Structure 1
Amino acid sequence: MDQIDKIKELILPELSLFDVKLYDVKWLNEKKMRILQIAIMKSDGTMDIDTCANVSEKLSSVMDEAFPNMDEYFLEVCSPGAEREVKDLSELSSLIGQHIYVRVKHPVKKMLEITGDLLKVDEGIITMNYRDKALTREVTFEQDEIEFCRLAVKL
């Protein structure tokens, strides 16, 4: 078990106390600073700064206790962001109505990248609408065709 897995195992019970779920844990290096970034979100996909601050305070003490000899680092508890990656495609059905960006493995209607509203997820078939100049069009493709997916901000 590597260090990230140990950290995840340690913090998961603490996160449940705040009714948030873990999105990601990773080490970052910025200007000779080691940063442990823990991205969290509420079950509805949102996050607020007060919750991040409260979770950060709790996790800081938990980490200090569990890893007293760890090299110096900064703890950053944050949201995954407005355009977070959808890592688990089984989550797609909970994103119906959301604006998303999808990159597919093979062209669909001559497109490898589609940005639009997720309309339906039905037995592995994805239906989205997208803008083509002034028209709104619909596209359908298999979920297995998704190479990458993230939420997208609608402008």
Structure 2
Amino acid sequence: MATITERLTNMLAPAVEALDYELVGIEFIRAGKHSTLRVYIDHPQGISVDDCAHVSRQASAVLDVEDPINVEYNLEVSSPGMDRPLFTAAHYEQFQGEMAQVVLSVPVAGKRKFTGVIRTVVDNTVTFGVGEETLDVEVATIKKANLVPNFD
């Protein structure tokens, strides 16, 4: 059975892509009446507030028809920003050599949280360089990951 974020991604991706944006990923944060559905979009020319509003209207229409969430929530549409979230193996491939903060759903080599360099991606396994060691992590076990902004 698909998770809520997988179902939402499959539901919203066609609408977002029809508007000529990339659906980077979706986060659904359950918090009772203060739940949040966050939709990250991108475009080669960048993202403006107007872009977010345009996608928000389209996503709202789809969500109103499909009604996939049974609690109150706020819809947020955002650019990925400098601390871009990473959701798929393709994202890790795209940002090889970059530093990422990672939180795992299960520990790997005794680590649940770490910051490391994205080294390689092979068959949904990401190899991170963490200090002097390397960690091989299945994408499915990554709870959350974000790029660490580099201001150099």
Aligned Cα root-mean-square deviation (Å): 4.3
Whether the aligned pair in 2 keeps the contact of 1:40 and 1:77 (CA below 8 Å) is yes
Is it true that 1:142 corresponds to 2:145 in the alignment?
no
Give the unaligned 5+ runs of structure 1.
131-137
State the shift of 1:141 in Å: 3.8
Q: Given residue 41 of structure 1, which amino acid in structure 2 is its aligned partner?
A: I
Report SS of the residue matched to 1:101.
strand
1:70-103, CA deviations, whole angstroms, 9 ceiling, x for partnerless residues? 8765432234554455343453221123221246
Decide which of 101, 104, 108 is 1:105's aligned counterpart: 108
Opposite residue 11 of structure 2, the aligned amino acid is: L
Return the alpha-carbon distance in structure 1 between the equivalents of residues 22 and 117 of structure 2.
26
CA distance in 2, matches of 1:17, 1:7: 16
Aligned length, in residue pairs: 139
TM-score when scaled to structure 1?
Answer: 0.57
TM-score for both structures, normalised by structure 2: 0.58
1:15-60 per-position Cα deviation (integer Å, ceiling 9, x unaligned): 1113221511525446x45x4513223277x754332111001222
Contact 2:92 2:126 in 1 (8 A): no
> Aligned runs of 1:1-155 on 2, under 5 Å?
4=4, 7-18=8-19, 19-26=21-28, 28-29=30-31, 32-33=33-34, 35-42=35-42, 47-67=47-67, 73-79=73-79, 82-102=82-102, 105-106=108-109, 114-118=114-118, 120-121=119-120, 123=122, 126=127, 128=129, 139-144=133-138, 148=142, 149-154=145-150
Residues 65 and 3 of structure 1: CA distance in aligned 2, closer, same or farther (over 3 Å): farther
Question: Which protein shows a greater Rg?
Answer: 1
Amino acid at match of 1:37: L
Larger fraction in strand: 1
Structure 2, unmatched stretches of 5+, are none
